[in-house]
Structure 1
Amino acid sequence: MLAQAIKRRLSKEENQKGFTLIELLAVIVILGIIAVIAIPLIGNIISNAKEDSDVATARQIYDASRLFIVGEKDGKFSDDTTAVTVTLEEMQKDGFLDKEISLPSSKVKITEATVYYTKEGQLDKIIIKPIAAGADKTTGVFTATQVLSSKAK
Protein backbone atom coordinates (compact mmCIF):
# COMPACT_ATOMS: atom_id res chain seq x y z
CA MET A 1 0.00 0.00 0.00
CA LEU A 2 2.72 2.45 0.96
CA ALA A 3 4.87 1.34 -1.96
CA GLN A 4 2.01 1.98 -4.41
CA ALA A 5 1.47 5.51 -3.04
CA ILE A 6 5.17 6.28 -3.40
CA LYS A 7 5.18 4.97 -6.99
CA ARG A 8 2.14 7.12 -7.88
CA ARG A 9 3.77 10.18 -6.35
CA LEU A 10 7.02 9.62 -8.23
CA SER A 11 5.27 9.00 -11.54
CA LYS A 12 3.36 12.29 -11.20
CA GLU A 13 6.60 14.21 -10.59
CA GLU A 14 8.25 12.68 -13.66
CA ASN A 15 5.41 13.83 -15.93
CA GLN A 16 5.33 17.39 -14.60
CA LYS A 17 7.09 20.03 -16.63
CA GLY A 18 8.27 23.60 -15.86
CA PHE A 19 7.25 26.82 -17.54
CA THR A 20 7.59 27.00 -21.28
CA LEU A 21 9.80 29.58 -22.94
CA ILE A 22 6.74 31.42 -24.27
CA GLU A 23 5.27 31.75 -20.78
CA LEU A 24 8.54 33.14 -19.42
CA LEU A 25 8.83 35.62 -22.30
CA ALA A 26 5.24 36.77 -21.74
CA VAL A 27 5.97 37.48 -18.08
CA ILE A 28 9.14 39.40 -18.98
CA VAL A 29 7.26 41.50 -21.56
CA ILE A 30 4.50 42.31 -19.06
CA LEU A 31 7.05 43.36 -16.43
CA GLY A 32 8.81 45.52 -19.03
CA ILE A 33 5.57 47.29 -19.94
CA ILE A 34 4.81 47.96 -16.28
CA ALA A 35 8.34 49.37 -15.78
CA VAL A 36 8.02 51.67 -18.81
CA ILE A 37 4.79 53.09 -17.42
CA ALA A 38 5.80 53.29 -13.75
CA ILE A 39 9.29 54.84 -13.93
CA PRO A 40 8.25 58.21 -15.44
CA LEU A 41 5.33 58.45 -13.01
CA ILE A 42 7.61 57.90 -10.05
CA GLY A 43 10.01 60.54 -11.42
CA ASN A 44 7.18 63.08 -11.67
CA ILE A 45 6.04 62.34 -8.13
CA ILE A 46 9.56 62.92 -6.79
CA SER A 47 9.94 66.15 -8.76
CA ASN A 48 6.58 67.49 -7.55
CA ALA A 49 7.44 66.59 -3.96
CA LYS A 50 10.69 68.57 -4.20
CA GLU A 51 8.90 71.62 -5.56
CA ASP A 52 6.18 71.40 -2.92
CA SER A 53 8.77 71.09 -0.15
CA ASP A 54 10.46 74.27 -1.38
CA VAL A 55 7.11 76.05 -1.32
CA ALA A 56 6.66 74.81 2.25
CA THR A 57 10.02 76.34 3.14
CA ALA A 58 8.90 79.63 1.57
CA ARG A 59 5.75 79.40 3.68
CA GLN A 60 7.90 78.90 6.79
CA ILE A 61 9.87 82.04 5.91
CA TYR A 62 6.60 83.92 5.31
CA ASP A 63 5.20 82.86 8.70
CA ALA A 64 8.45 83.89 10.43
CA SER A 65 8.32 87.29 8.69
CA ARG A 66 4.77 87.89 9.93
CA LEU A 67 5.87 87.04 13.47
CA PHE A 68 8.86 89.35 13.03
CA ILE A 69 6.62 92.24 11.94
CA VAL A 70 4.24 91.72 14.84
CA GLY A 71 7.03 91.29 17.38
CA GLU A 72 9.62 93.79 16.20
CA LYS A 73 7.73 96.37 14.12
CA ASP A 74 4.60 96.58 16.25
CA GLY A 75 2.49 94.99 13.53
CA LYS A 76 3.03 97.79 11.00
CA PHE A 77 3.25 96.46 7.46
CA SER A 78 3.96 99.90 5.98
CA ASP A 79 5.30 103.27 6.98
CA ASP A 80 2.76 105.20 4.87
CA THR A 81 5.21 105.62 1.99
CA THR A 82 6.45 102.15 1.19
CA ALA A 83 5.56 98.58 1.95
CA VAL A 84 7.62 96.56 4.40
CA THR A 85 10.30 94.11 3.35
CA VAL A 86 11.79 91.60 5.75
CA THR A 87 15.12 89.91 5.10
CA LEU A 88 16.35 86.50 6.17
CA GLU A 89 19.17 88.13 8.11
CA GLU A 90 16.74 90.18 10.23
CA MET A 91 14.62 87.14 11.06
CA GLN A 92 17.64 84.99 11.94
CA LYS A 93 19.28 87.74 14.03
CA ASP A 94 16.17 88.11 16.20
CA GLY A 95 15.55 84.35 16.49
CA PHE A 96 12.47 84.06 14.30
CA LEU A 97 14.23 81.56 12.00
CA ASP A 98 17.03 79.06 12.51
CA LYS A 99 20.53 80.19 11.55
CA GLU A 100 20.90 77.26 9.17
CA ILE A 101 17.94 76.93 6.83
CA SER A 102 18.21 75.06 3.56
CA LEU A 103 16.17 74.11 0.53
CA PRO A 104 14.74 70.62 0.88
CA SER A 105 14.99 69.94 -2.86
CA SER A 106 18.73 70.51 -3.17
CA LYS A 107 19.94 70.62 0.47
CA VAL A 108 21.63 73.93 -0.33
CA LYS A 109 21.80 76.53 2.43
CA ILE A 110 19.57 79.54 1.82
CA THR A 111 21.84 82.57 1.71
CA GLU A 112 19.27 85.29 1.02
CA ALA A 113 15.53 85.59 1.38
CA THR A 114 13.36 88.66 1.27
CA VAL A 115 9.63 88.84 1.97
CA TYR A 116 7.79 91.71 0.30
CA TYR A 117 4.46 93.02 1.57
CA THR A 118 2.03 95.45 0.00
CA LYS A 119 1.03 98.65 1.82
CA GLU A 120 -2.14 96.87 2.92
CA GLY A 121 -0.12 94.18 4.69
CA GLN A 122 -0.75 91.47 2.11
CA LEU A 123 2.02 89.17 0.95
CA ASP A 124 3.38 90.30 -2.40
CA LYS A 125 6.23 87.85 -3.09
CA ILE A 126 9.16 86.01 -1.56
CA ILE A 127 12.56 85.88 -3.21
CA ILE A 128 14.85 83.04 -2.10
CA LYS A 129 18.45 82.51 -3.16
CA PRO A 130 19.76 80.08 -4.20
CA ILE A 131 16.87 79.52 -6.58
CA ALA A 132 14.41 76.91 -5.30
CA ALA A 133 12.82 74.18 -7.42
CA GLY A 134 9.25 75.44 -6.93
CA ALA A 135 10.11 79.08 -7.67
CA ASP A 136 10.33 80.94 -10.94
CA LYS A 137 13.42 79.36 -12.50
CA THR A 138 15.15 82.64 -13.36
CA THR A 139 14.62 84.77 -10.28
CA GLY A 140 13.77 82.48 -7.35
CA VAL A 141 10.45 84.23 -6.77
CA PHE A 142 7.55 82.59 -4.99
CA THR A 143 4.26 84.38 -5.59
CA ALA A 144 1.73 85.03 -2.86
CA THR A 145 -0.62 82.52 -4.49
CA GLN A 146 1.98 79.78 -4.40
CA VAL A 147 2.93 80.38 -0.79
CA LEU A 148 -0.58 80.81 0.56
CA SER A 149 -1.97 77.80 -1.32
CA SER A 150 1.17 75.74 -0.55
CA LYS A 151 1.37 74.50 -4.15
CA ALA A 152 4.24 74.98 -6.55
CA LYS A 153 2.03 75.67 -9.56
Structure 2
Amino acid sequence: MFNTLKKRIKNEKGLSLVELLAVIVILAIVAAIAIPAIGNIVENSRYNGVKADAVNVLSGAQIYFTDNPEKADVTITALKTGGYLENAGSFEKNASTITITKATAGNKIVSATIEFSGTKKAVFTNATIPLINGDKQKGSAITDSWTVGNTVTNP
Protein backbone atom coordinates (compact mmCIF):
# COMPACT_ATOMS: atom_id res chain seq x y z
CA MET A 1 0.00 0.00 0.00
CA PHE A 2 2.81 2.40 0.83
CA ASN A 3 4.49 1.62 -2.48
CA THR A 4 1.30 2.52 -4.36
CA LEU A 5 0.99 5.80 -2.41
CA LYS A 6 4.63 6.67 -3.12
CA LYS A 7 4.11 6.02 -6.84
CA ARG A 8 1.04 8.31 -6.87
CA ILE A 9 2.90 11.10 -5.11
CA LYS A 10 5.80 10.83 -7.57
CA ASN A 11 3.39 10.91 -10.54
CA GLU A 12 1.60 14.05 -9.33
CA LYS A 13 2.27 16.92 -11.75
CA GLY A 14 1.83 20.51 -10.65
CA LEU A 15 3.51 23.84 -10.06
CA SER A 16 6.05 24.35 -7.35
CA LEU A 17 6.00 27.52 -5.29
CA VAL A 18 9.00 28.90 -7.19
CA GLU A 19 7.31 28.33 -10.56
CA LEU A 20 4.15 30.00 -9.32
CA LEU A 21 6.10 33.02 -8.09
CA ALA A 22 7.91 33.28 -11.43
CA VAL A 23 4.59 33.39 -13.27
CA ILE A 24 3.25 36.07 -10.91
CA VAL A 25 6.39 38.21 -11.40
CA ILE A 26 6.11 37.93 -15.19
CA LEU A 27 2.45 38.95 -15.09
CA ALA A 28 3.32 41.92 -12.86
CA ILE A 29 6.00 43.09 -15.31
CA VAL A 30 3.61 42.82 -18.25
CA ALA A 31 0.94 44.76 -16.33
CA ALA A 32 3.46 47.46 -15.36
CA ILE A 33 4.27 47.98 -19.03
CA ALA A 34 0.72 47.69 -20.40
CA ILE A 35 -1.20 49.95 -18.01
CA PRO A 36 0.72 53.19 -18.76
CA ALA A 37 0.63 52.40 -22.49
CA ILE A 38 -3.15 52.03 -22.39
CA GLY A 39 -3.39 55.30 -20.43
CA ASN A 40 -1.39 57.08 -23.14
CA ILE A 41 -3.64 55.69 -25.84
CA VAL A 42 -6.71 57.07 -24.06
CA GLU A 43 -5.03 60.44 -23.49
CA ASN A 44 -3.95 60.67 -27.13
CA SER A 45 -7.47 59.88 -28.32
CA ARG A 46 -8.88 62.70 -26.19
CA TYR A 47 -6.16 65.03 -27.47
CA ASN A 48 -6.96 64.10 -31.08
CA GLY A 49 -10.67 64.58 -30.35
CA VAL A 50 -10.06 68.18 -29.28
CA LYS A 51 -8.03 68.77 -32.45
CA ALA A 52 -10.83 67.33 -34.59
CA ASP A 53 -13.40 69.54 -32.83
CA ALA A 54 -11.23 72.60 -33.52
CA VAL A 55 -10.95 71.72 -37.21
CA ASN A 56 -14.75 71.26 -37.39
CA VAL A 57 -15.31 74.67 -35.82
CA LEU A 58 -12.90 76.31 -38.26
CA SER A 59 -14.50 74.51 -41.22
CA GLY A 60 -17.94 75.72 -40.12
CA ALA A 61 -16.53 79.24 -39.84
CA GLN A 62 -15.15 78.97 -43.38
CA ILE A 63 -18.64 78.25 -44.71
CA TYR A 64 -20.04 81.09 -42.59
CA PHE A 65 -17.51 83.58 -43.95
CA THR A 66 -18.21 82.42 -47.51
CA ASP A 67 -21.91 83.15 -47.00
CA ASN A 68 -21.22 86.38 -45.08
CA PRO A 69 -18.15 88.04 -46.65
CA GLU A 70 -18.78 91.31 -44.82
CA LYS A 71 -18.33 89.70 -41.40
CA ALA A 72 -14.90 89.71 -39.74
CA ASP A 73 -15.54 87.36 -36.83
CA VAL A 74 -18.08 84.93 -35.40
CA THR A 75 -18.68 82.99 -32.18
CA ILE A 76 -19.31 79.27 -32.00
CA THR A 77 -22.80 79.97 -30.66
CA ALA A 78 -23.57 82.02 -33.79
CA LEU A 79 -22.25 79.20 -35.99
CA LYS A 80 -24.58 76.73 -34.28
CA THR A 81 -27.55 79.09 -34.40
CA GLY A 82 -26.97 79.76 -38.11
CA GLY A 83 -26.75 76.05 -38.92
CA TYR A 84 -23.06 76.15 -39.89
CA LEU A 85 -22.02 73.87 -37.06
CA GLU A 86 -24.09 71.03 -35.67
CA ASN A 87 -22.00 70.15 -32.65
CA ALA A 88 -19.10 72.06 -31.13
CA GLY A 89 -17.85 68.99 -29.25
CA SER A 90 -15.34 69.93 -26.59
CA PHE A 91 -15.85 73.62 -27.42
CA GLU A 92 -19.50 73.42 -26.33
CA LYS A 93 -18.86 74.57 -22.76
CA ASN A 94 -17.35 77.93 -23.79
CA ALA A 95 -19.15 78.32 -27.14
CA SER A 96 -20.40 81.85 -26.50
CA THR A 97 -16.99 83.23 -25.56
CA ILE A 98 -14.84 81.66 -28.30
CA THR A 99 -14.38 83.86 -31.36
CA ILE A 100 -13.18 82.84 -34.80
CA THR A 101 -11.75 85.62 -36.96
CA LYS A 102 -11.56 85.73 -40.72
CA ALA A 103 -8.04 85.91 -42.09
CA THR A 104 -6.51 85.65 -45.53
CA ALA A 105 -4.12 82.91 -44.38
CA GLY A 106 -6.96 80.92 -42.79
CA ASN A 107 -9.58 81.45 -40.16
CA LYS A 108 -8.27 81.59 -36.62
CA ILE A 109 -9.60 80.55 -33.23
CA VAL A 110 -8.55 83.71 -31.41
CA SER A 111 -8.36 82.31 -27.90
CA ALA A 112 -9.78 79.20 -26.27
CA THR A 113 -8.86 76.97 -23.38
CA ILE A 114 -10.47 73.54 -23.57
CA GLU A 115 -10.25 70.97 -20.78
CA PHE A 116 -10.13 67.51 -22.28
CA SER A 117 -8.88 65.20 -19.55
CA GLY A 118 -8.87 66.08 -15.90
CA THR A 119 -6.28 68.82 -15.62
CA LYS A 120 -5.08 68.58 -19.24
CA LYS A 121 -6.09 71.58 -21.31
CA ALA A 122 -5.70 72.57 -24.93
CA VAL A 123 -4.85 76.26 -25.27
CA PHE A 124 -5.65 77.75 -28.66
CA THR A 125 -4.15 81.14 -29.53
CA ASN A 126 -4.72 82.32 -33.11
CA ALA A 127 -4.89 78.67 -34.14
CA THR A 128 -5.52 77.80 -37.78
CA ILE A 129 -6.24 74.38 -39.31
CA PRO A 130 -2.65 73.96 -40.58
CA LEU A 131 -1.28 74.81 -37.14
CA ILE A 132 -3.66 72.41 -35.41
CA ASN A 133 -2.78 69.62 -37.83
CA GLY A 134 0.93 70.36 -37.49
CA ASP A 135 1.41 71.32 -41.14
CA LYS A 136 3.77 74.26 -40.57
CA GLN A 137 5.66 75.09 -43.74
CA LYS A 138 9.42 75.15 -43.43
CA GLY A 139 10.60 78.73 -43.09
CA SER A 140 7.08 80.16 -42.76
CA ALA A 141 6.45 83.32 -40.83
CA ILE A 142 3.72 81.77 -38.70
CA THR A 143 4.06 82.87 -35.10
CA ASP A 144 0.67 81.64 -33.92
CA SER A 145 0.44 78.42 -31.97
CA TRP A 146 -1.69 75.94 -30.16
CA THR A 147 -0.31 74.05 -27.22
CA VAL A 148 -1.34 71.58 -24.57
CA GLY A 149 -0.32 72.12 -21.00
CA ASN A 150 -1.03 70.99 -17.46
CA THR A 151 -2.89 73.21 -15.04
CA VAL A 152 -4.86 72.43 -11.93
CA THR A 153 -7.64 74.99 -12.32
CA ASN A 154 -10.69 74.74 -14.52
CA PRO A 155 -11.20 77.33 -17.26
What interval of TM-score do these two structures reach, taking the shorter chain for normalisation?
0.5 to 0.7
Q: Kindly name which structure, 1 or 2, has the bigger radius of gyration based on alpha carbons.
A: 1
Query: Secondary structure of the equivalent of 2:49?
Result: helix
1:63 aligns to what? 59
CA-CA distance at 1:13 after TM superposition: 9.2
Extract structure 1 runs of 4+ deviating beyond 6 A.
11-14, 150-153
Partner of 1:88: 76
* 1:68 counterpart letter in structure 2: Y
Q: In structure 2, the residue corresponding to 1:103 is in which secondary structure?
A: helix
Count of residue pairs the alignment pairs up: 127
SS class of match (2:89): coil
Runs of 5+ in structure 2 lacking a partner? 1-6, 136-145, 149-155
TM-score normalised per structure 1? 0.65
State the Cα deviation string for residues 64-86 of structure 1 (Å, max 9, x = none): 0000011222xx67xxxxxx222
Instruction: Output the TM-score relative to the length of structure 2.
Output: 0.65
* Residues 1:116 and 2:101 aligned together: yes
RMSD (Å), alpha carbons: 3.2
Partners of 1:85 and 1:64 in 2: how far apart? 12
Structure 1 residue 58, shift from structure 2 partner? 0.5
C-alpha contact 2:76 2:88 (8 A) present in aligned 1: no
Higher-strand-fraction structure: 2
Determine what percentage of the aligned residue pairs are the same residue.
Answer: 26
SS at match of 1:135: strand
* In structure 2, C-alpha distance between the alignment counterparts of 1:89 and 1:127, rounded to whole Å: 15
1:49 maps to: 45
* 8 Å contact from structure 2 (residues 101, 110) kept in 1: yes
Q: What CA distance in whole angstroms lies between the structure 2 residues aligned with 1:142 and 1:131? A: 18
